[in-house]
Amino acid sequence: MKNICSILVLLLLVCNLGFSQENPVLKSNKWSAEKAQSWYDSHNWINGANFVPSTAINQLEMWQEDTFDPETIDRELGYAAGIGFNTMRVYLHSLAYKVDKKGFKKRVEEYLNIADKNGIKTIFVFLDDVWDANPKIGKQPAPKPGTHNSGWVQDPGYPASKNEANFPELETYVKDILKTFANDERILLWDLYNEPGNNGKSNESLPLLKEIFTWAREVNPSQPISAGIWKWDEKELNEFQVTNSDIVTYHDYEGPEWHLRVIQLLESFNRPLICTEYMARTRNSRFSNTLPMLKEHTIGAINWGLVNGKSNTIYAWDTPIANGDEPIEWFHDVFRKDGTPYREDEVNLIKKLNNK
Report residue 1's pLDDT band, with 50, 70 and 90 as the boundaries. Answer: very low
Q: What is the CA radius of gyration of the chain?
A: 19
pLDDT in tens, 273-324: 999 999 999 999 999 999 999 999 999 999 999 999 999 999 999 999 999 9
User: Per residue in 179-200, pLDDT tens?
Assistant: 999 999 999 999 999 999 999 9
Helix-helix angle 4-15:235-244, to 10 degrees: 50
Q: How confident is the model at residue 4 (pLDDT cuts 50, 70, 90)?
A: very low
Angle between helices 167-180 and 101-117 (to 10 degrees): 40
| pLDDT tens track for 312-328 | 999 999 999 999 999 99
Do the Cβ atoms of 265 and 10 come closer than 8 Å? Answer: yes
Spatial separation of the C-alpha atoms in residues 216 and 179, rounded to whole Å: 9
How far apart CA 135 and CA 40 sit, in angstroms, is: 35
Q: Comparing C-alpha atoms, which of 154, 272, 163, 167 is closest to residue 214?
A: 167
Q: What is the pTM of this model?
A: 0.95
- How far is 186 from 109, CA to CA, in rounded Å? 10
Q: What is the pLDDT of residues 132-171, one digit of tens each?
A: 999 999 999 999 999 999 999 999 999 999 999 999 999 9
Q: Phi and psi of 134, rounded to 5°?
A: -125, 70
Report the DSSP pairing between strands 300-304 and 47-50: parallel
Contact 20, 59 (CB under 8 A): no
26-53 mean pLDDT: 95
